[in-house]
Amino acid sequence: MATVEKDIREESEKIIKVKKLVKKRAEELEDTDLVETPISEGPSWKDLEFSHPNRTIRIGTVFSGIGAIEHAFQRLGLKHKIMFAGDIEPNCKKSYFANYVINEEDWFSDIRDFDATQYKGKVDFVIGGAPCQAFSMVGHRLGFEDARGTLFYEFARVVKETEPKVFLFENVRGLLNHDKKRTWHVMHDIFEELGYDVKFRVLNSCDYGIPQHRERVFCLGFKKKTKFEYPAPIPLEYKMYDFLEDYIDTKYFLREKGVKFVTSHKNRDKSYTQINGDIQLCQKRNQQFNWHGDFVYHPDSELTPTDEAFDEFIFDVKDVEEKYYLSEKVAKYVLAGGTKNFKTSTKTDLDIARPLLQTMHKMHRAGVDNYVTHKGRIRKLTPRECLRLMGFKDSFKIVVSDTAAYQQAGNSIVVDVLIAILKQMDITKYGGRL
């Protein structure tokens, strides 16, 4: 992986100065609550039709990653044009250019060096999810200038310079309560200061078709006063098993030490691990480096047509190279408690992909990992399965290493949640004819 000389998360003198300034002023402010925008009680977003399907939406993205919003437009079949995009990670550029149409001159690597004024009036929709490590101590009503030096400021600056009809800002749920809720207050106020009607709400991907607990804040800003309510949840029709691949390389299987960690009573009781869960635990970008997270027992295959045949197969495990298979003792534990007779579909859903995290193959104990079992063996999710679990169809080309692919999936936004929002707001109303 290429070395990035200028880390987007670095603590520059400007950022340190800003943090000291806003911390001092934040201490003098009163706590007030901002109320989340309600959920729609009208027709389901799945049943809504776009009012202007022939219009083209001009989009610009920052902290673009692998293009979740771009893929959402592809899945919806909507006409769109990418006006600009960028990410500081070189591997993201490889993936982005392999999957979307964009001019080289419209890509930027570092948002801090990006001059967006050239796109003023040329963008309908701006999307981004700024990392907020530097934006740690902020107060209420501090204003646009007081947020300078932070990555959130860079997102707000792009909005200010381009003046889109609508923007979407996505971030972790914890942002709403950070620093006694003052962090979100200043962000919210800055968006309003820029002249936007601000709506926000925490949405969970498992409420929008993806079997994963992944809660994120989705903030919309409309240039004009707009009546908007967030899309209502829909029943979850799929389980994580529905997105498994049929053939898995042995490099994805857990070794003996990992199996012991995953199946221990202590870790399962504390919800560090989960076996045969219907809904995946929230994934993170570094998940392949640890054994925390999801494990799925997936016995159905041509080698295990019945429970008896599978039992026989498990008993023979001790005769197979241990680093790939469960030991007899661990296998009995994994299959206990009702899992022995568990049956589930082995089909792969190529129309609705499901979300995932980032760093699994080294299996360090550092984050949230995802694993499944296949033909009696426990393994982690593959990069393709991770992309499916983030809502990316198999048409998305993987052109980077496994490590980079895990990171990119874990850093992304769940495509299906974006689709629900785009339909609920009728994004075509903000497009035009090119």
C-alpha count within 13 angstroms, C-beta hemisphere, residue 10: 11
DSSP sequence for 352-382: S-----S--TT--TTS-EEEEEETTEEEEPP
Token pair recorded at residue 148: 């300078």
Catalytic residue among 132, 219, 282, 386: 132
Report whether 423 contacts 50 (CB < 8 A): yes
Are 367 and 294 in contact by the 8 Å Cβ rule? The answer is no
Q: Within 10 Å of residue 348's Cβ, how many Cβ atoms?
A: 16
Q: DSSP code of 45?
A: G
Q: Which residues contact 139 (CB under 8 A, 6 or more apart)?
A: 22, 23, 25, 26, 27, 28, 29, 182, 185, 186
* Distances from the Cα of 31 to the Cα of 19, 56, 143, 219, 222, angstroms: 19, 42, 17, 21, 26
297, 302, 305, 307 alpha-carbon torsion, rounded to 10°:
-40
Q: How far apart are CA 362 and CA 272, in angstroms?
A: 18
Residues in the chain: 434
In the residue annotation, 386 being an active-site residue is answered as no
Quote the CA–CA distance of 327 and 321 in Å, as a whole number: 10
Strands 166-172 and 215-222, bridge-based pairing = antiparallel
Output the CA–CA distances (angstroms, integers) from residue 274 to 32, 319, 344, in the order listed.
38, 27, 17
- Bridge partners of 166, per DSSP, are 125, 222
Active site residues: 132
